[in-house]
Amino acid sequence: MGLWYDETFDDHTRLGLRVKETLFSGQSAYQKVEVIDTVGFGRVLVLDNIFMTSEYDEFLYHEMLAHPALTTAPSIERVLVIGGGDGGTVREVLRHPEVKRCVMIEIDELVVEASKRYLPGIGTAWDDPRLDLRFIDAIEYVETSRDDRYDVVLLDGTDPVGPGAVLFDESFYRGCKRMLTDGGVMALQSESPLLMMDIFVETQRKLRSLFSEVHPYLGPVPLYGTGTWSWTWCSDTGEPLRPKRQRQTAIVEGSKAYNEELHQAVFALPNYVKRALKL
């Protein structure tokens, strides 16, 4: 049978991947960092026993976090990415020619080191001169850099456990909103409405208390347990279903998932989600 690596959810469900070998295992000041090579999902980044991203399906997650926001914000010259130490999100951001500067705030240098070495196919934009990568605490950055302004803010955190839990706090969302330019767009990963409905609903509540436009959207990410994942598009003006065609054209051909039709489709919510959100 060989060796299996399991992520366990709430002691009642687990997802197991058959492992070929462990490529890296280390402990940072924040978390356990591992890269495993698996039979079905290729190389997988694992933080504190939670699957973060895989060579097999990472595009489904990173393209959907980045492009709905980046194709709809009024301007995308300045982009802030919080988390995302594997490099997949900044890779997608920097595919947009209009982006002039992308600041990435990652607390854990070991995640980036391990990803650069063992997941070079995911982080392909580390050397882009527009990228400004800083290893600092996002909470501290948002508190101390109140004058920095961004057209788009993307939150690419872990689940709300361990060092990433604070990235789900309402006060943190408020700080991120303060950094947005007028009409700016924030997008974030907002967990699974199937596996973590309570966290999903509570996240939507917090965001709705801060932004006038809050639109969750869904897509498949097989690595994340139930396969159904959510992201949320937030702004005070505008709406997510009016993307700029020119920006879409610039990236659609090079995207594995994102296209014009999918952009519209992902915002269509199933009844169980609409009912949970009282929409």
State the catalytic residues: 156
User: What Rg value do the Cα atoms of the chain yield, rounded?
Assistant: 18
CA dist., res. 10 & res. 42, Å (int): 25
Is 88 a binding residue for ligand SPD by CB under 6 A? The answer is: yes
Is 41 a binding residue for ligand SPD by CB under 6 A? The answer is: no
Angstrom CA distances, 96 to 71, 182, 238, 260, stand at: 9, 20, 20, 15
Residue choice 44, 46, 50, 176 for contact with ligand SPD (CB under 6 A): 50
CB atoms within 10 A of CB 160: 16
- Among 114, 198, 213, CA closest to 160: 198
Among the listed ranges 94-102, 113-121, 154-162, 260-268, the one in contact with ligand SPD (CB under 6 A) is: 154-162
**Least CB distance to ligand SPD at residue 236 (A):** 25
Is 92 a binding residue for ligand SPD by CB under 6 A? The answer is: no
Is 52 a binding residue for ligand SPD by CB under 6 A? The answer is: yes
User: Could you give the angle at the alpha carbon of 69 between the alpha carbons of 66 and 70, nearest 5°?
Assistant: 75
* DSSP single-letter state for residue 135: -
The full DSSP string for 187-238 is EEE---TTT-HHHHHHHHHHHHTT-SEEEEEEEE-TTSTTSEEEEEEEESSS
Residue choice 156, 188, 219, 263 for contact with ligand SPD (CB under 6 A): 156
The residue (of 106 and 151) whose beta carbon lies closer to ligand SPD is 106
Site size for ligand SPD, by CB under 6 A? 13
The residue (of 227 and 238) whose beta carbon lies closer to ligand SPD is 227
User: Could you give the angle at the alpha carbon of 111 between the alpha carbons of 108 and 115, nearest 5°?
Assistant: 155
Is 189 a binding residue for ligand SPD by CB under 6 A? The answer is: yes
CA dist., res. 151 & res. 93, Å (int): 12
The residue (of 45 and 185) whose beta carbon lies closer to ligand SPD is 45
Among the listed ranges 10-18, 48-56, 145-153, 266-274, the one in contact with ligand SPD (CB under 6 A) is: 48-56
**Least CB distance to ligand SPD at residue 63 (A):** 11
Q: In the complex, which residues of this chain contact ligand SPD (CB under 6 A)?
A: 50, 52-53, 61, 84, 86, 88-89, 156, 158-159, 189, 224
